[in-house]
Amino acid sequence: MENPFHRRATEQLRDDEAFLSIVSPQPLTYFLKRPAEQGTLYDRLVLFRGTPGSGKTTLARLFEFSALSAVLRSTGSKEYESVAGALEQCGAIRDGLPTVVGCRLPMETDYRDFWEFPYSEALRSGLLFTFIQARALLAWFRHLQAAGIAESDISIVPRSDSASALGTIGGDSGAAVVQKAREVERAVYDVVGALVAPQESDLPAAVTGTYRPFDVIERIEITSRTLTHGKRLQLTPLVILDDAHWLHPSQFEAVRHWLARRELRIARWVITRFDILQPGEALAVVAEDRTERPSYPGLSATRDVESVLLQSWGQRRVQRTAFRRMARDMAERYLQKHSLLGPRRLVDIGSLLSEEPAPISEAKLNELSKQVAATQKRLKITDSRRIELEAIVEASRKGDTGISSDIRLAMLAILMHRYSKRTKGQASLFEDDPEPSRPLVADPGVFEAAKLHLLHRYERPYFFGADDLCDASSENAELFLRLSAILVDTVATQVIRSKPAILDASTQHRLLRERARRIIEHWNFPYFEKVRKLVTTIATKCVETSVQPNGWLTPNSYGVLQSEFDSLATSNPETARVLQFAVAYNAILVVPRYDCKGKEWCLLEMGGPLCLAHGLTLKRGGFLEGSATEIASMLEENPQ
Amino acid sequence: MTRVRRWEPCVYHRGTHADAFMKDYLAQPDRSILLIAGAGFDPRSTRVADTFPEKARKKTRAILIREERPNPDDILIKRAVKNRDALVAAFPQSEEHEIQIFASDNAVVGGRGSARLMRSIPLDGVTDIFVDISALSIGVAFPIIKHFHEVLKQNPQIQANLHVVSCDSPVIDGTITSAPSDAAAPIHGFRGGWGLDEKSKAAILWMPQLSRGKGVILERIFQMLRNVQPDTVVCPILPFPSSRPRRPDELIEEFAEELEGAWSVDVRDLVYADEKSPLDLYRTILRIDDARRRVFESVGGSQIILSPLGSKALSLGALMASLERDFTILHVESIGYIVSEGQTESIDTTEELVHIWLDGDAYGKTDAMEGTPK
């Protein structure tokens, strides 16, 4: 029985049809519709940022010409209808015809090596640009040919001011352009692949010559019987530099400035990992090596670059709602492909995960009741005050489905402690039931704290329901699939055993926590041990605070002043580096510029698996105040 | 059509035979030795040096390499210093060189650095080059070996022999855990045309050498491969025969999710190679390559990608195959190491020395024959 949720990354799907059948169009519309409508998507450099698994490559792959033509081949198919609609909204398809020819160049290998050459920075950058251009041209032609368009049916439309430069890229005919691009690619590849880089004077002319197709090409013209019905069609070439964070920071800057030039007519996207610390590091590196640094005048980031942040940016509530919608859509597509659940139309993840809370057992309830009575006695709370507090608890959930007895008792205990704190020093010989200094309310914070108290004392299920599943995924598609996989497997087992196709709260809670612990145990990325040490310390502190009797705070974040965080890369590079990888691998989410108590904070929010494993709230905003120095001391082996 | 193989037959020794060969060979008075070895925390750093007779040690020029990685553990530094001191004492004509494995932005630069270092070493008068890979990572060792292999091939006037030696110890391997970096990339000098447009239509075969605890590394390599080449087919290499007969079963169990899931490996695609014989793996890979070339010749060709992760001795088989046929070797460099306390202080009793004579007198002048159809 194949569970498609186990195939986490869409990169693992070989053919375009399989890829398209599971890809959700939601992020496409969410992230790209606006820039497409504003006309900035194919007009200037677009910089995408996101964590691993946030769907960067999936997004890029949709715009590769092979995927685009697969969508068009299946026009009318219900399966691809929504994807085709989204691509139309993004301007990649118009009137049933493609408007762009996209190619994706993964930057993981080869490209960074240019930085290691013993040449001037200008020559190193030149070699990199030449390599990118040759490979982009070859990739465009490869995609077009894969779609059944013959090389002879492809030609280059030059920019009006660059027609004379056509010769430098081989001419305007498809075959000649490909031939030239292959020669250049091979020549540069031989330089990159050489064990020891050749002397600058020994570099072949093909490598150092003037080869700038991006400056020459305006459009790629094609004729295709199947795609364009024999008519000539002009396409905007789109180059997508995927995973550009593998480049050296100086190379990245050079590429950014090179592609941000407004005179370029091709569309260009750069996709990098979301990494808030990298700019600081990059600046430090650039500052170190000032001697050969070319200047890039006349560029303004806002005018020349469109930024798309794929995760944890903008209004957090909106982001979370949008992710829930996207995740549910994605789950439906995956469930349709499930060999057992798909044919039974069990494709709504929400209907598979019960949202009915599971209260604690009678015996535990009795124990809790006794504990609350003992608390009342210890804090010297009168019976009449208790009745008043109970009324406050009742009133807090008016109109709701009601509160179970265990939550009611836990909330009451919290209010008793708050009452006790707010009456401290007020008791006198003549008054045994003083009024609190501030009125008591049973707000959602008390309700949340009560649930967490029950989780930590009685292991009452806390994480269940589709919304919790989405929220625990830290707005990361891959993490969502990894967490969902185990739940879907269990639903399938229940179906096989002729049991209802729905998981109760206890099962969901247990499975999610187990999976989260497993994910953390299997962390294996640079500095993962230090990251684990840091987040475990923070999470433990958060738990200690969450279970405080008066439930004053239910944190899942650690806050440092924004000014301190901004200078972290220079003041404490080691801590910054650990945090960089913690962020890059979703252990921590950085929430910058969070206003609280008149100060600007940067929150280090625990990722979903950590909240699940340690039993922290998934609600946002609660944080422990700290400092960069404390973070550094947490990382020390034997903190004093 | 089977092509002539460069190392068929091959001069190869293992265990007591390797020790005996080293002692006899190095004792010859006309030998002028250049030794390249790692001076790291690995207790095997000094193992090969022990086989050098006293007289040979005195006239051997030893290039001792220290692989520098960010934030090493204090215990590892102490052990490395101890090993380095022992090697310096053993070889009066020794030079110590540091190689930074990672650049400031975490890019892997060790391979390029080691090749650059080797280029600066003159070979005048050298009769034998010994590369001891026991305490070198393959990201550093392979470019070094390839450098000398190419130098000897391109400069027939240099009359030197190239030997590779390694102390094979599965027990020590098991006590050292590496923390992988987050980048999978070809080892420097072993790109093998990977990513080139002319190879874009080639049928890709990835042959990872399965090894315990390397799941994350293999997943990283696979993800990168699929990212670039969605049509990659996977044929994992299992060590069989193995010193532990159940090892292949254990590996299949450990990698069950990958084999059945993302990699979609058919049971007929499993490749077995003798754990103790690099030559067996070398021959197996070449045999597969011969068969695939025939089949895929007219439809874009075949490309084999190797990922040697298991024992160093076995990885030599992948190295030899790659040197001969220009295969791509994909690798994830280690950003650091963790050693089990007390385990790596001493030499393991099951360790064995492996020696392969790669180039030189043993083979006559056969370079011209490479790649000629039989």
Complete DSSP assignment for A3-20: -GGG---GGG--SHHHHH
**Helix %, strand %, coil % for chain B, to 5?**
40, 25, 35
Chain A residues in contact with B185 by the CB 8 A cut-off are 108-109
Nearest by CB to B200, from A142, A246, A528: name it. Answer: A142
Contact B105 A249 (CB under 8 A): yes
ipTM: 0.90
Chain A residues in contact with B182 by the CB 8 A cut-off are 525-526, 581, 584
pLDDT tens string, chain B, 374 residues long: the values are 567 899 999 999 999 999 999 999 999 999 999 999 999 998 888 999 999 999 999 999 999 999 999 888 888 899 999 999 999 999 999 999 999 999 988 899 999 999 999 999 999 999 999 999 999 999 999 999 999 999 999 999 998 999 999 998 877 776 787 888 878 999 999 999 998 998 888 999 999 999 988 888 998 899 888 877 777 899 999 999 988 889 999 999 999 988 988 888 988 999 999 988 999 999 999 999 999 999 998 888 999 999 998 888 889 999 999 999 999 999 999 988 877 655 545 545 568 999 999 999 998 754 444 444 33
Residue A248 to chain B, least CA–CA distance (Å) = 6
Residue A13 to chain B, least CA–CA distance (Å) = 7
Distance CA A559, CA B161 (A): 62
Chain B residues in contact with A242 by the CB 8 A cut-off are 227
Chain B residues in contact with A584 by the CB 8 A cut-off are 182
Residue B116 to chain A, least CA–CA distance (Å) = 6
3-state secondary structure of A347: coil
Q: How far is CA A440 from CA A414, A451, B158, B237, in A?
A: 11, 19, 90, 68
Instruction: Report the chain A residue with the minimal C-alpha distance to residue B228.
Output: A106
Contact B107 A115 (CB under 8 A): yes
Q: Which amino acid is at B370?
A: E
Looking at A328-445, which runs of residues are DSSP E strands? none
A454, HSE (Cβ side, Cα atoms, 13 Å): 30
CA A292 to chain centre: 36
Number of H helices, E strands in chain A: 29, 13
Chain A residues in contact with B197 by the CB 8 A cut-off are 135, 138-139, 142, 181-182, 185
Q: Which amino acid is at A190?
A: D
Contact B183 A248 (CB under 8 A): no
Q: How far is CA B141 from CA A53, B27, B41, B188, B291, in A?
A: 34, 25, 16, 10, 29
Residue B71 to chain A, least CA–CA distance (Å) = 9
Residue A26 to chain B, least CA–CA distance (Å) = 22
Treating both helix axes as pointing N-terminal to C-terminal, what angle do A316-336 and A477-496 enclose, rounded to 10 degrees? 40
Contact A246 B183 (CB under 8 A): yes
**pLDDT beneath 50, residues of chain A:** 276-277, 279, 281-301, 313, 639-640
Residues 6+ apart with CB under 8 A from B111: B139, B140, B142, B143, B187, B188, B189
Both ends of chain B: CA-CA distance in Å?
A: 7
Token couple for A418? 């708050």
3-state secondary structure of A401: coil
CA B107 to chain centre: 21
What per-residue confidence (pLDDT) applies to A1?
62
Nearest by CB to B223, from A9, A242, A281: name it. Answer: A9
Residue B352 to chain A, least CA–CA distance (Å) = 31
Interface test with B, best of A108, A521, A524, A530 (most B CBs within 10 A): A524
Nearest by CB to A7, from B191, B193, B261: name it. Answer: B261
Interface test with A, best of B108, B151, B181, B182 (most A CBs within 10 A): B182
Nearest alpha-carbon partner for A237 in A94, A60, A42? A42
What per-residue confidence (pLDDT) applies to A639?
43
Token couple for B37? 């070895």
3-state secondary structure of A551: coil
What per-residue confidence (pLDDT) applies to A391?
92
Chain B residues in contact with A116 by the CB 8 A cut-off are 103, 109, 112
Place of tokens 């004093």: A640
* Kind and range of the H or E run holding A76: none
Contact B198 A529 (CB under 8 A): no
* Angle formed at CA A107 by CA A102 and CA A111, multiple of 5 degrees: 120
Token couple for A564? 């301190």
Instruction: Report the chain A residue with the minimal C-alpha distance to residue B229.
Output: A14
Contact A6 B257 (CB under 8 A): yes
Distance CA A555, CA A452 (A): 11
Q: What is the pTM of this model?
A: 0.84
